[in-house]
Amino acid sequence: MVQMGQGRIFTNVTTLDLGRIRRYVLESAVAGGGDPPAVDELVLAVNEAVVNIVHHAYRDEPGEVELSVSCSEGVILVILLDHGPPFDPTTMLSPDTTLPLDKRPFGGMGIHFMREFCDELRYRRDSDGRNELTLLKRFGPQLKGSP
């Protein structure tokens, strides 16, 4: 069973905070035993998720993001919480990466990376009315998609 770590609240988050948020995830995941290649991919996915929160949930107004990182039994779990209007990034379409760049729809690459670099993405609206996004990444001998 994955034990949840203590969360950290980042306030007035803008894109200028992305670096320190990435470092927090990196250090927490590595401290929890995550292997570097898996952690690098997860950090990228979390970065994209936070950018979505900044742009879509908070409409580029500084807002609060709560983030927790836990590692156990070959799994890294990151949970992101924000107070924005309901926004489910898991329903966004991924772009067709075989298309020339000029024919791709607006945006979408962030969610594409989240899907490609995480083994599971889950969204729900929690009982406090917050958006809750869970990113799960397996590491070690497990293969992506394995139970």
Residue 80 makes CB contacts below 8 A (sequence gap 6+) with: 46, 49, 50, 53, 65, 66, 67, 131, 132, 133, 134, 135
Residue 64 φ then ψ, to 5°: -100, 135
Total of chain residues touching other proteins, rule CB under 8 A: 31
Nearer to other proteins, 41 or 69 (CB): 41
Asked if 37 interacts with other proteins (CB under 8 A), we say yes
| Residue (39 or 81) nearer to other proteins, CB | 39
Using CB under 8 A, list all residues that contact other proteins: 14-16, 18-19, 22, 37, 40-41, 43-44, 47-48, 51, 54, 97-104, 106-107, 109-110, 112-113, 116-117
